[in-house]
Structure 1
């Protein structure tokens, strides 16, 4: 594996890891918050999926008696006093957002022995929550709840009510997991699939139609060609005919003509065996000797052939010396005995682009 390939793979892995990290940052888990307390000799329980786990919190379950920090509802710093923590193990700290970082609040409660930390949002935020980050306070369950829910529990605790709280993981949420995105992706997938299928059907139908049209055209052309070929002059050679007495031969099968052979005379007056020339004309249309388009002369036009450009460059033969460059080029449609420069044909056979070769040739003839 080359160095460029290794660097490309490394770059791809880094990009993928960045995407995964970015996607994870957008995702969050809700928390199920259950509270129980005794009111008039009866136990009241409330249940809601109204919390959000912190970004650095483990998605574990936690339970305990709710405890407020004495004097400072924000629970900032090590001076926060959780006076009831020794009487109610395990316990959960309930603190208000603000005045310090989330990490400082969580660490302060953790140092006092809290089993979990619940942060309720600031005043005026209603039941809104946020996906709080606390990178310096890990290893403890930490969630955020709305201000209304938090103040409701704070009032009961301040009134001397023992509130038991149970925290459990809810459902994951994020741009790729929300119902809106799922619907959007489903519709997009359906549209792309339908468009791809429609395009495939259209292309397949077009190809089948073109192929069918081509076959019909070829079949029609072949039928017309057979009818046209049938109009050509056909005769049987006899002894004494010029073709049987001379060295004439069929240019298709390269065999001499004999008495009794059935031959076809083309519009260009060239003669060939009937069994040889008819398949030839169906495939190639032209006379093997003069290249005259026989079917065209008989009124059969090949539309497909007429649409093909005939302005292709002439084929050439390139003469090379092993290990060297081309010396000269000779067009195939030009006779080797033709001298376009007006010089002697024998002289033309000894022309070289390399003047050193020409000098050696002159010396050899001298």
Structure 2
């Protein structure tokens, strides 16, 4: 233990030295090598912006003078004067970034010199400047897209003699304000003072790289130790699982089976369906009767019993009921992890289980306790081994956490140095690390998010199911007079706060480990919360983790279906408890069982329809039924920051579950009000707005409602 502590202390000392020297060395090298050439390369040239605002009669209304600009690296450092012109609207949309292929500038007649005003973002600086230059702009002013970011020296080689200047967000929005009021804004750009560029040289970069390699060698040594111990623990766990599997098979063989015949109660219309597959019983179906008298299809319930050893409905422990393991407190804590096993061995496991139980006859075997003492001794051995391996696991986890922390910090430091040393080559790179460090989904760059589909893809884990077309004739119909043009359940205090599927993290590795693709569970629980308020109850924040852990036919944080989840809630009668009783953990855990009389909210029924082509009728159902659960194609949502989504949103691949809380048809573009589960830093305080009437993003393909 002392040796491990000394090693950890050495790692900490090495990392601190790396950071300190990486900050000190650049200054030392810079001071030692001062000459005119180096100074020129590490300087920027500021720009003075003088703006005069005139009304339609030519009277001066306001004068602005600020040294808030910075000439681009490849821009002519000359003075330029002209009127400010912004991109014109195309199909009702204004592309202030100047990145779209159809971006146009409307130049007033007899205008000889004009300056384009564009917003930073979406594409390269070079593309923006060339777009304005194609319309003979004398200069381009690009204002920042964040008040927290400083202006940078833009790199835009190949833009000719067009003057390019970056200005602050506040100045850019001031100029834009007057332009949008149809007032004339004359701007004069003149050369300002010089300033040093905060940059790092190659010497510092090499030093940081060497330090990074040393830390990686230390981390690799600990990795080897970790995986060796991991293999040992896996082997021990497999032995324990095999013993439990044998016990489960013995218990299953003692349960009653029966073939459904004509006249049996299972064939009656009022008899409950199988709670596992949610289908009725047919003639010649083989059913299994549990000690609690619940009946299921044999081929449906046997895999569940083999993995959980409990009744899917009442959670009765069949091992205790049959006297095989009477002293075991909770089999679910040591049974197979169903979600993990079904993803890897589902098909082969079902075949094996059917072979094991196929020899069971129609006659009922008497319940015996033979072999219980032998199994108890095996259980004691298993618990002893698990306790010992758990101690080793705790020690390994602590060491692995330390090593992982060093590796993450080293990677962040190296990436930061590389970005600062290589300069600002495009519009997104300069702010990449700052944005990732703050953990907002919309702040990840496109390159990072699209690398092998990681990170952003982890959010999109909702599984769509085919639902029937909605038929208005089979449901109530609103009259035209009772149909509100604008409606939002938030106005009735029926919608809770916006949730976040992950925590704020500081690195890519930590973000990936904390993201839970449980949007399907968040949407269902949010709908239940809102409908409860709609029906006259008080708002109660319910447990999302309970649904992630316990919902049958789901994979927890790896995905699930809202429709299947609602069916499970209806058939099983599971009561959703308070969030404080079962808090969200951002990972899939073992299902916690509450007593049958424990309080909670249960789902009596649900409805699921395809409203494509009937979004007006869908809005009426929202008013009557409450917030709706929908599955959308959210691949294009990663950069959404506000406004109505009305273009470039596919409906082909439904992958993300959200709830619709309202709509607004009073404006030129009608839209749905959608509540997401990516935190309040995404979109408009966690909300998005989707155009109505065109099935944008597939919003009407799979719509579900909850009834309590």
TM-score by length of 2: 0.21
- More helix by proportion, 1 or 2? 2
- More strand by proportion, 1 or 2? 1
The structure with the larger Rg is 1
